[in-house]
Amino acid sequence: MSLTTYAGKRNFKRTPEPVGKKKASASALSFVIQRHDASRLHYDFRLEVNGVLKSWAIPKGPSLNPKDKRLAVMVEDHPLAYGKFQGEIPEGNYGAGTVEIWDSGIYEPENVDDPSDYQHEIGKELKKGSLKFVLHGKKLKGSFALVQLKNGDGKNWLLIKHKDEFATDEYHIESIRKNKKTTTQKKETKSEAKAKTTAAPVRSVRSSNAKLEKYITPMMAHIREDSFDDPDWIYEIKWDGYRAIAEVNKKELKFYSRNGLSFDRLYPAVVDALAGIKDDVVLDGEVVVLDKNDKPSFQKLQQYGENRSLPLLYYVFDCLSYKGKDLTDLPLVERKKIAEKVIPKSNVLKYSDHVAGDGIAFFSNAVAMGLEGIIAKRADSKYYIGRRTYDWLKIKNHNTQEAVIAGYTEPRKSRKYFGALVLGMYEKGKLKYIGHTGTGFTEKILKDVYTKLQPSIREKSPFDTKVPINAPVTWVDPVHVCEIKFTEVTDEGILRHPVFMGLRIDKSAKEVDHLDVKVPKKNKSTDKTVKTSKTKKAAPIKSSSVKPDATKPVKKRGKDTSDEYNKIVKVEKHELKFTHLDKIYWPEEGITKGEVIDYYNSISKYILPYLKDRPQSLKRNPNGITDKGFFHKDAGDAAPDWVESIELYSDSAQKDIDYILCNNKATLLYLNNLGCIEINPWNSRTKNLDRPDYLVMDIDPSDKSTFEEVIDTAQAIKEVLDKAGASAFCKTSGASGLHIYVPLGAKYDYDQARSFAEIVASFTEEKLPKITTMERALNKRKNRIYLDYLQNKRGQTLASVYSLRPVPGATISTPLEWKEVKHGLSPSQFTMKTLPKRLEKKGDLFKGVLLKGIDMKKCLKRLGGG
């Protein structure tokens, strides 16, 4: 792709058009449509491809009507800089006439998941003469296609709108005929054109990501650990995004971060929506991207260029100025009323509502929904620009923290770019070490972060003191800030189990000067603790080699009654330190972390055969079942040397992951201490990773399904499998469903297992069409039970047999005799209290799953499948 033809047609001394050069394209590809009123009015459609704008002239203009197939004539490539050009091309020059930007935005090719493949795939499709793509513009949105006509010299294409939610029978563009000049029209004079411009003023928008010279620093909140009820306070959702100020007036629109970084180019959809506000106003709010579960996701926001299909919202929670009047001295609730009134109806702009007085219940609901937390605000508080005040308090559900990147360690094994980021925080003007993180990265994120850090490399450590790093380090200037999620903070102020969430572009390093959680006070007498009395219900962990000083209880710290208990024991010759054993995991039942460890210790001989040599996908709930928890697949640097692991490439994470193998009791209890309430193994073992030992039918009920219907579905599946001559084993999911396993003996690959499961599911659906479905999409299930046969995939996991589940009641995934699978059965029957006695009486009912597998060919013949 060359710009030679473009340059050859123009004399840049006589035309204001940009000279331009071929440039490397960004991950988010741009498009522009320019209304070109030349010898003939037409629209120039341009797509960014491999450093240039591929261009087509569309005589009639684009259409949102799928019935309209618009002729698009390919012209010479244009430079990327042309995408911002608008103005008058003087007479006597090529293309003389007026150029206006009619629409612009970003686009991506359809059916290409990895943004790094966009350029290559677009090039291939253009060569084939058929390109399908999705536009995210102000006027044109949704799916389109460019199709090359076979006649002629290959320059003629058709631009076609696909049928989707953005398609319409109307144009939604200005009438071309009305705007087209005729021979009887006289040319406007400069004074007439100026008069038109002043009659309809247009706000200028800064199209730059640079820092603004003048900006408003928002008011900030202090941290508080627990929520409270107070009639003089209001409570809002704490949005997990970028804080943003919007200044809208008749002449200019500015939209920027808390430190003055312009957001205009990053979030043009928000800028467009703000332009619809008629009055002069200054708003305070948060830019948020919702994930597929409609929950705010900072990670998705930070990677918004790759997630353009996800909803982008600007939640407004305050108004600082209205119609030129300063509102900062008004009470908060009055400012919020004005903010709600000035925001137009929009899919992008949203008013951030609140509740009054009921902070405890509001926080509980936020926790139940898995939200970031809440903000408590004094209802009559003034707005203090640039100040952190106790009139506003943030109460977090998840532990998150900004951290300064001080360096990175060498990568290990097959990982590229770096191993872990070294993290710091400013304390009294000096950088203090707070830990390092090597998890939370895809290969693309590793590359992006590495690239951003290269200009900041330095020879010496930015810390005044030596930091505990166990690999060679490349130090960098402490200027980049990232967001970290972690489980807790040690009494030395070190973040435990930190996970990288993304870079923060809205905060400077010097602003990272405090932790958003309280650091526990050191106990001067001893750091060691004993087992809590609450761990007596289950069989205790027995070890004759408990260290003598670990038998001394920690003294109470003043009025603090939340004693934490630790103990160090040897399990199978491996030393384990168990921490916070008195932490409550199930508030209603009063079950502690210590009891969870004791449960797994007592049933380890039963569960370990189903875990051995299987990669583990760690689901961690370190704060108990009220915390949504998170998945942590990578063993990471923190795992003890004796914990076995296997490094495998993950398609979903797009990187190599060091999966833990739970091959012994010591590893099982180590995982429990990490907060793994449930255990999630692969269906296949390391010797045959592509050949599962069994296939799984997951009976997944809707909210409206009864457990009797789940039982009926399990019996229907059993009837199909009996007809096929296939042995089957049933267990409770531990939640609301049932799982049916069919032994395969590692004789078939995942595709074969999934195909057989799909056949079984289809026969089952025929038997019970009113209550079951194979529809994966929630909106198409119509409150029916989902027959999930797609669990049969490499890397897919379900809770293991005998695994606890982080749900109310502390239920356990328990194997059943088929005679038990009948009406009256309830998953709540199987808990930490009842299961040990059941095992003593019935033994391991699931062991047949690991024995000889079925003959799939014979089974298919019996079902009539060949």
Contact 790, 776 (CB under 8 A): yes
Measure the CA–CA gap between 692 and 747, rounded to whole angstroms. 8
User: Which residues of the chain does CATH 2.40.50.140 include?
Assistant: 400-511
Q: How far apart are CA 300 and CA 115, in angstroms?
A: 14
Q: Which residues contact 488 (CB under 8 A, 6 or more apart)?
A: 399, 496, 517, 580, 622
**Residue 844 token pair:** 């391991």
| Count of C-beta atoms within a 10 Å radius of residue 827 | 22
pLDDT at 512: 86
Residue 127's region, left for phi above 0, alpha for psi from -120 to 50, else beta, is alpha
Two tokens at 412? 């290990």
pTM across the whole model: 0.42
Listed residue (271, 59, 78, 65) closest to 169, CA to CA: 65
CB 634 within 8 A of CB 446: no
At residue 849, φ and ψ (nearest 5 deg) are -65, -30
In the prediction, which pLDDT does 530 show? 26
Residue 565 structure tokens? 């208990």
Which residue is listed with tokens 């406007």?
A: 188
pLDDT score for 79: 92
Angstrom distances, CA of residue 115 to CA of 54, 119, 302: 19, 8, 15
pLDDT given for residue 245 in this prediction: 94
CB neighbours (10 Å) of residue 29?
21
- Mean pLDDT (10-residue bins), the chain, 866 residues: 84 89 73 88 91 91 86 91 90 88 90 81 90 90 88 81 76 32 36 36 49 86 83 89 90 87 85 88 92 76 68 91 92 93 86 89 80 89 89 82 90 80 89 86 84 88 84 90 80 79 82 71 36 31 29 30 62 87 86 91 94 92 84 72 83 73 93 93 92 95 91 95 95 92 94 92 92 86 90 91 92 95 91 89 94 92 72
Contact 54, 77 (CB under 8 A): yes
Tokens of 859: 């089974």
Burial of 178 (0-12, 13-18, 19+ CB in 10 A): exposed
How far apart CA 503 and CA 445 sit, in angstroms, is 10
Which residue in 304, 305, 288, 201 sits closest to 253, CA to CA?
201
Per-residue pLDDT, 283: 95
CB atoms within 10 A of CB 854: 22
Helix, strand, coil in percent for the chain, rounding step 5: 20, 30, 45
Element of type H or E holding 479: none
Q: What is the dihedral of CA 449, 450, 451, 457, to 10 degrees?
A: 120
Residue with tokens 């008013």: 351
Residue pointed to by tokens 């921490």: 579
Q: How many CA atoms lie within 13 A of 655 on its CB side?
A: 24
How many Cα atoms within 13 Å fall on the side-chain side of residue 392?
22
Distance of alpha carbon 646 from alpha carbon 633, whole angstroms: 11
Q: Quote the pLDDT of residue 37.
A: 85
The per-residue pLDDT for 303 is 67
> Which ranges in the chain are annotated with CATH 3.30.470.30?
220-396
Distance CA 621, CA 501 (A): 18
> For position 818, what pLDDT does the model report?
95
**Through-space distance between the first and last CA atoms of the chain, rounded to whole angstroms:** 53
69 is catalytic: no
Q: What is the dihedral of CA 119, 120, 121, 122, to 10 degrees?
A: 50
How many Cα atoms sit within 13 Å of 639 on the Cβ side?
25
d(CA 689, CA 795) in angstroms, rounded, equals 9
Active site residue: 141, 238, 432, 619, which one?
238
Cα separations (Å) of 510 from 203, 216, 252? 34, 18, 30
Strands 388-396 and 220-223: parallel
Indicate the CATH number for domain 694-862: 3.90.920.10
**Domain 220-396 bears CATH identifier 3.90.1150.10:** no
Residue 736 structure tokens: 């609301």
Q: What span, in angstroms and rounded, lies between the C-alpha atoms of 440 and 306?
A: 17
Q: Which residue has the tokens 């003023």?
A: 201
CA 306 – CA 318 distance, rounded (Å): 30
CATH 3.40.50.720 fits 400-511, yes or no: no
Phi, psi of 656 (to 5 degrees): -75, 135
Strand-pairing partners, residue 37, are 41, 98
DSSP 561: -
- Return residue ranges of the chain for CATH 3.90.920.10: 694-862
* Whole-angstrom distance, CA of residue 689 vs CA of residue 696: 16
